[in-house]
Amino acid sequence: MNEHIPKSHPRHRSLLLRERLVHGLEAGLTSRAGLIAHGRGEAFDYLLGERTHDFAREAIAAASALLWTARHPVFSVNGNVAALAGEELAGLAKAFPKLKVEVNLFHWSEDRLTRIVDHLEGQGIADVLGLGETEDLPGLESARRRMDRRGIASADVVFVPLEDGDRCEALVASGRKVITIDLNPSSRTAQRASITIVDELTRALPALQAQLVSDRGRGEEELVWRRTIHDNADVLRRAIERIRQGAV
Ligand code: ATP
Ligand code: MG
Protein backbone atom coordinates (compact mmCIF):
# COMPACT_ATOMS: atom_id res chain seq x y z
CA MET A 1 0.00 0.00 0.00
CA ASN A 2 2.74 2.47 0.83
CA GLU A 3 5.93 1.16 -0.76
CA HIS A 4 6.01 4.24 -3.01
CA ILE A 5 6.68 6.52 -0.03
CA PRO A 6 10.48 6.45 0.41
CA LYS A 7 11.59 6.04 4.03
CA SER A 8 13.99 8.95 3.55
CA HIS A 9 11.13 11.33 2.83
CA PRO A 10 11.08 13.95 5.62
CA ARG A 11 7.32 13.59 5.97
CA HIS A 12 7.36 9.79 5.70
CA ARG A 13 5.25 9.15 8.76
CA SER A 14 2.76 11.85 7.97
CA LEU A 15 2.34 10.53 4.42
CA LEU A 16 1.92 7.01 5.73
CA LEU A 17 -0.94 8.13 7.96
CA ARG A 18 -2.60 9.85 5.00
CA GLU A 19 -2.32 6.58 3.08
CA ARG A 20 -3.94 4.71 5.96
CA LEU A 21 -6.85 7.16 5.95
CA VAL A 22 -7.35 7.05 2.18
CA HIS A 23 -7.25 3.28 2.36
CA GLY A 24 -9.79 3.46 5.23
CA LEU A 25 -12.05 5.63 3.06
CA GLU A 26 -11.84 3.15 0.19
CA ALA A 27 -12.60 0.28 2.56
CA GLY A 28 -15.71 2.09 3.87
CA LEU A 29 -14.31 2.66 7.39
CA THR A 30 -13.76 6.42 7.28
CA SER A 31 -16.07 9.18 6.09
CA ARG A 32 -14.93 11.85 3.64
CA ALA A 33 -15.36 14.45 6.36
CA GLY A 34 -12.89 12.40 8.41
CA LEU A 35 -10.13 13.32 5.96
CA ILE A 36 -10.70 16.99 6.76
CA ALA A 37 -10.65 16.38 10.52
CA HIS A 38 -7.31 14.65 10.02
CA GLY A 39 -5.98 17.76 8.28
CA ARG A 40 -6.76 19.83 11.35
CA GLY A 41 -4.80 17.38 13.45
CA GLU A 42 -1.85 17.40 11.04
CA ALA A 43 -1.54 21.17 11.26
CA PHE A 44 -1.25 21.03 15.03
CA ASP A 45 1.22 18.15 14.86
CA TYR A 46 3.40 20.23 12.55
CA LEU A 47 3.36 23.09 15.04
CA LEU A 48 4.24 20.68 17.85
CA GLY A 49 7.28 19.38 15.96
CA GLU A 50 5.68 15.94 15.38
CA ARG A 51 6.94 14.43 18.60
CA THR A 52 5.71 13.33 22.02
CA HIS A 53 6.32 16.11 24.54
CA ASP A 54 6.68 15.88 28.32
CA PHE A 55 3.15 17.24 28.82
CA ALA A 56 1.84 14.30 26.75
CA ARG A 57 3.94 11.80 28.72
CA GLU A 58 2.54 13.19 31.94
CA ALA A 59 -1.03 12.79 30.65
CA ILE A 60 -0.22 9.25 29.48
CA ALA A 61 0.98 8.36 32.99
CA ALA A 62 -2.25 9.77 34.48
CA ALA A 63 -4.33 7.92 31.87
CA SER A 64 -2.64 4.65 32.76
CA ALA A 65 -3.41 5.23 36.46
CA LEU A 66 -7.05 6.05 35.69
CA LEU A 67 -7.41 2.98 33.45
CA TRP A 68 -5.85 0.61 36.00
CA THR A 69 -8.13 1.90 38.76
CA ALA A 70 -11.29 1.97 36.59
CA ARG A 71 -14.15 -0.47 37.15
CA HIS A 72 -15.23 -0.70 33.50
CA PRO A 73 -13.09 1.27 31.02
CA VAL A 74 -14.25 1.49 27.39
CA PHE A 75 -12.34 2.72 24.33
CA SER A 76 -14.59 4.51 21.82
CA VAL A 77 -13.56 4.10 18.17
CA ASN A 78 -14.69 6.31 15.28
CA GLY A 79 -13.89 5.94 11.58
CA ASN A 80 -10.60 7.84 11.72
CA VAL A 81 -9.34 5.89 14.72
CA ALA A 82 -10.24 2.60 13.03
CA ALA A 83 -8.42 3.54 9.81
CA LEU A 84 -5.36 5.07 11.48
CA ALA A 85 -4.72 2.90 14.49
CA GLY A 86 -6.37 -0.54 14.28
CA GLU A 87 -3.01 -2.20 14.84
CA GLU A 88 -1.96 0.09 17.71
CA LEU A 89 -5.34 -0.37 19.37
CA ALA A 90 -5.07 -4.15 19.07
CA GLY A 91 -1.69 -3.94 20.84
CA LEU A 92 -3.20 -1.84 23.61
CA ALA A 93 -6.20 -4.16 24.07
CA LYS A 94 -3.90 -7.16 24.27
CA ALA A 95 -1.69 -5.54 26.90
CA PHE A 96 -4.69 -4.35 28.90
CA PRO A 97 -7.52 -6.89 28.49
CA LYS A 98 -9.87 -5.09 30.92
CA LEU A 99 -10.42 -2.47 28.19
CA LYS A 100 -13.58 -2.98 26.11
CA VAL A 101 -13.66 -1.53 22.58
CA GLU A 102 -16.85 0.05 21.20
CA VAL A 103 -17.50 1.63 17.81
CA ASN A 104 -19.29 4.99 17.82
CA LEU A 105 -20.02 6.93 14.62
CA PHE A 106 -21.16 10.41 13.64
CA HIS A 107 -21.98 9.35 10.07
CA TRP A 108 -23.78 6.24 11.28
CA SER A 109 -24.80 3.32 9.12
CA GLU A 110 -25.11 -0.31 10.06
CA ASP A 111 -22.94 -1.21 7.08
CA ARG A 112 -20.11 1.09 8.19
CA LEU A 113 -20.38 0.02 11.79
CA THR A 114 -20.20 -3.65 10.78
CA ARG A 115 -17.18 -2.99 8.57
CA ILE A 116 -15.34 -1.31 11.43
CA VAL A 117 -16.23 -4.06 13.89
CA ASP A 118 -14.99 -6.67 11.37
CA HIS A 119 -11.83 -4.66 10.69
CA LEU A 120 -10.98 -4.39 14.40
CA GLU A 121 -11.80 -8.03 15.12
CA GLY A 122 -9.63 -8.91 12.13
CA GLN A 123 -6.77 -7.10 13.90
CA GLY A 124 -7.27 -9.45 16.86
CA ILE A 125 -9.53 -7.39 19.15
CA ALA A 126 -12.14 -9.68 20.72
CA ASP A 127 -15.82 -8.84 21.16
CA VAL A 128 -15.94 -5.33 19.65
CA LEU A 129 -19.14 -3.59 20.82
CA GLY A 130 -21.52 -1.17 19.10
CA LEU A 131 -23.96 -3.43 17.32
CA GLY A 132 -25.77 -4.59 20.45
CA GLU A 133 -28.66 -3.03 22.37
CA THR A 134 -28.09 0.65 23.01
CA GLU A 135 -29.10 3.44 25.37
CA ASP A 136 -28.96 7.17 24.62
CA LEU A 137 -26.41 9.51 26.14
CA PRO A 138 -28.42 12.49 27.44
CA GLY A 139 -27.73 15.88 25.87
CA LEU A 140 -26.53 14.64 22.47
CA GLU A 141 -28.61 14.75 19.30
CA SER A 142 -26.50 12.91 16.72
CA ALA A 143 -26.03 9.17 16.25
CA ARG A 144 -23.06 9.45 18.59
CA ARG A 145 -25.53 9.44 21.51
CA ARG A 146 -25.77 5.65 21.11
CA MET A 147 -24.10 3.72 23.94
CA ASP A 148 -23.87 -0.05 23.91
CA ARG A 149 -25.43 -1.43 27.12
CA ARG A 150 -22.40 -3.66 27.70
CA GLY A 151 -19.98 -0.87 26.81
CA ILE A 152 -20.13 2.90 27.28
CA ALA A 153 -23.59 2.74 28.92
CA SER A 154 -22.10 0.88 31.88
CA ALA A 155 -18.62 2.46 31.76
CA ASP A 156 -17.06 4.65 34.45
CA VAL A 157 -14.10 5.67 32.27
CA VAL A 158 -14.39 6.35 28.53
CA PHE A 159 -11.38 6.77 26.26
CA VAL A 160 -12.44 8.91 23.28
CA PRO A 161 -9.61 9.99 20.99
CA LEU A 162 -10.22 12.43 18.11
CA GLU A 163 -13.64 13.38 19.41
CA ASP A 164 -15.93 16.29 18.77
CA GLY A 165 -16.44 18.58 21.76
CA ASP A 166 -20.18 18.10 22.24
CA ARG A 167 -19.87 14.36 22.84
CA CYS A 168 -16.96 14.82 25.21
CA GLU A 169 -19.00 17.37 27.16
CA ALA A 170 -22.05 15.07 27.31
CA LEU A 171 -19.90 12.17 28.54
CA VAL A 172 -18.34 14.32 31.27
CA ALA A 173 -21.77 15.69 32.23
CA SER A 174 -23.01 12.10 32.60
CA GLY A 175 -20.49 11.64 35.44
CA ARG A 176 -18.01 9.53 33.49
CA LYS A 177 -14.29 10.25 33.45
CA VAL A 178 -13.03 10.97 29.93
CA ILE A 179 -9.56 10.44 28.51
CA THR A 180 -8.85 11.88 25.07
CA ILE A 181 -6.05 12.15 22.57
CA ASP A 182 -6.29 15.44 20.69
CA LEU A 183 -3.55 17.42 18.96
CA ASN A 184 -5.46 20.67 19.40
CA PRO A 185 -5.08 21.77 23.02
CA SER A 186 -7.70 24.51 22.47
CA SER A 187 -10.48 22.24 21.22
CA ARG A 188 -13.56 21.82 23.37
CA THR A 189 -12.73 18.15 23.73
CA ALA A 190 -9.20 18.88 24.96
CA GLN A 191 -10.54 21.50 27.38
CA ARG A 192 -13.40 19.41 28.79
CA ALA A 193 -11.79 15.97 29.13
CA SER A 194 -10.54 14.71 32.49
CA ILE A 195 -7.19 13.77 30.91
CA THR A 196 -6.00 15.15 27.58
CA ILE A 197 -3.06 13.59 25.76
CA VAL A 198 -1.90 16.25 23.30
CA ASP A 199 -0.13 13.97 20.87
CA GLU A 200 -0.68 12.17 17.58
CA LEU A 201 -2.89 9.09 17.94
CA THR A 202 -0.49 6.50 16.51
CA ARG A 203 2.41 7.82 18.60
CA ALA A 204 0.38 8.09 21.80
CA LEU A 205 -1.19 4.62 21.78
CA PRO A 206 2.08 2.63 21.83
CA ALA A 207 3.41 4.99 24.51
CA LEU A 208 0.29 4.37 26.58
CA GLN A 209 0.63 0.64 26.03
CA ALA A 210 4.20 0.73 27.38
CA GLN A 211 3.03 2.76 30.39
CA LEU A 212 0.18 0.33 31.13
CA VAL A 213 2.61 -2.58 31.02
CA SER A 214 5.07 -0.84 33.34
CA ASP A 215 2.20 -0.02 35.77
CA ARG A 216 0.99 -3.61 35.92
CA GLY A 217 1.01 -4.73 39.55
CA ARG A 218 1.66 -1.24 40.89
CA GLY A 219 -0.09 -0.48 44.18
CA GLU A 220 -3.59 0.97 44.09
CA GLU A 221 -2.64 3.81 46.43
CA GLU A 222 0.15 5.04 44.16
CA LEU A 223 -2.11 4.90 41.09
CA VAL A 224 -4.95 6.75 42.81
CA TRP A 225 -2.48 9.40 43.96
CA ARG A 226 -1.06 9.84 40.46
CA ARG A 227 -4.54 10.10 38.98
CA THR A 228 -5.64 12.59 41.66
CA ILE A 229 -2.72 15.01 41.35
CA HIS A 230 -2.96 15.16 37.54
CA ASP A 231 -3.45 18.78 36.53
CA ASN A 232 -5.05 18.80 33.08
CA ALA A 233 -5.25 22.59 32.87
CA ASP A 234 -1.47 22.75 33.37
CA VAL A 235 -0.90 20.15 30.62
CA LEU A 236 -3.02 22.19 28.19
CA ARG A 237 -1.29 25.43 29.13
CA ARG A 238 2.12 23.87 28.42
CA ALA A 239 0.93 22.48 25.08
CA ILE A 240 -0.39 25.88 24.01
CA GLU A 241 2.87 27.49 25.14
CA ARG A 242 4.84 24.98 23.04
CA ILE A 243 2.77 25.86 19.96
CA ARG A 244 3.37 29.57 20.60
CA GLN A 245 7.14 28.97 20.54
CA GLY A 246 6.87 27.93 16.88
CA ALA A 247 7.44 24.85 14.79
CA VAL A 248 11.20 24.46 15.19
P1 ATP B 1 -14.00 20.51 19.26
O2 ATP B 1 -15.39 20.19 18.80
O3 ATP B 1 -13.51 19.58 20.33
O4 ATP B 1 -13.74 21.95 19.59
P5 ATP B 1 -13.11 20.05 16.54
O6 ATP B 1 -14.44 20.52 16.07
O7 ATP B 1 -11.87 20.60 15.94
O8 ATP B 1 -12.97 20.21 18.10
P9 ATP B 1 -13.17 17.52 15.28
O10 ATP B 1 -12.57 18.11 14.07
O11 ATP B 1 -14.50 16.92 15.19
O12 ATP B 1 -13.10 18.48 16.51
O13 ATP B 1 -12.25 16.37 15.91
C14 ATP B 1 -11.00 16.12 15.50
C15 ATP B 1 -10.00 16.53 16.54
O16 ATP B 1 -9.00 15.54 16.55
C17 ATP B 1 -9.32 17.85 16.20
O18 ATP B 1 -9.10 18.60 17.36
C19 ATP B 1 -7.96 17.42 15.60
O20 ATP B 1 -6.94 18.35 15.91
C21 ATP B 1 -7.72 16.10 16.30
N22 ATP B 1 -6.97 15.10 15.49
C23 ATP B 1 -7.18 14.78 14.18
N24 ATP B 1 -6.34 13.80 13.79
C25 ATP B 1 -5.58 13.48 14.87
C26 ATP B 1 -4.56 12.50 15.13
N27 ATP B 1 -4.13 11.68 14.17
N28 ATP B 1 -4.02 12.44 16.37
C29 ATP B 1 -4.46 13.26 17.36
N30 ATP B 1 -5.43 14.20 17.18
C31 ATP B 1 -5.99 14.30 15.96
MG1 MG C 1 -16.31 20.24 16.97
C-alpha 158 to ligand 1 mean position (Å)? 17
Q: What integer pLDDT is reported at residue 104 of this predicted model?
A: 97
* pLDDT band, very low/low/confident/very high, at 180 (cuts 50, 70, 90): very high
pLDDT in tens, 89-120: 999 999 999 999 999 999 899 999 999 999 99
Residues 6+ apart with CB under 8 A from 146: 104, 108, 130, 134, 135, 136, 137
Three-class SS of residue 231? coil
C-alpha 185 to ligand 1 mean position (Å)? 9
Whether the predicted pLDDT of 33 surpasses 60: yes
Indicate which ligand has the atom closest to the C-alpha of 36: 1
Q: What integer pLDDT is reported at residue 8 of this predicted model?
A: 80
Q: What integer pLDDT is reported at residue 28 of this predicted model?
A: 95
Question: CB of 159 closer than 6 A to ligand 1?
Answer: no
C-alpha 106 to ligand 1 mean position (Å)? 13
Indicate which ligand has the atom closest to the C-alpha of 193: 1
Question: CB of 41 closer than 6 A to ligand 1?
Answer: yes
pLDDT in tens, 73-94: 999 999 999 999 999 999 999 9
Whether the predicted pLDDT of 23 surpasses 80: yes
Residues measured by CB to lie within 5 Å of ligand 2, the ion? 164-165
* pLDDT band, very low/low/confident/very high, at 247 (cuts 50, 70, 90): low
* pLDDT band, very low/low/confident/very high, at 10 (cuts 50, 70, 90): confident
- With the most atoms of ligand 1 within 8 angstroms of its CB, the residue from 162, 180, 191 to mutate is 162
Mean pLDDT (the chain, rounded): 95
Q: What value does the mean pLDDT take over residues 43-52?
A: 95
Please state, as a whole number, how many other Cβ atoms lie within 10 Å of the Cβ of residue 241.
11
Q: CA dist 231 to 8, 139, 235, Å?
A: 39, 27, 7
Residues 6+ apart with CB under 8 A from 162: 37, 41, 78, 80, 81, 180, 181, 182, 201
Residue 11 or residue 142, greater confidence: 142
Question: CB of 88 closer than 6 A to ligand 1?
Answer: no
**Quick one: 42 exposed, middle or buried, by C-beta within 10 A (0-12, 13-18, 19+)?**
middle
Q: What integer pLDDT is reported at residue 59 of this predicted model?
A: 98
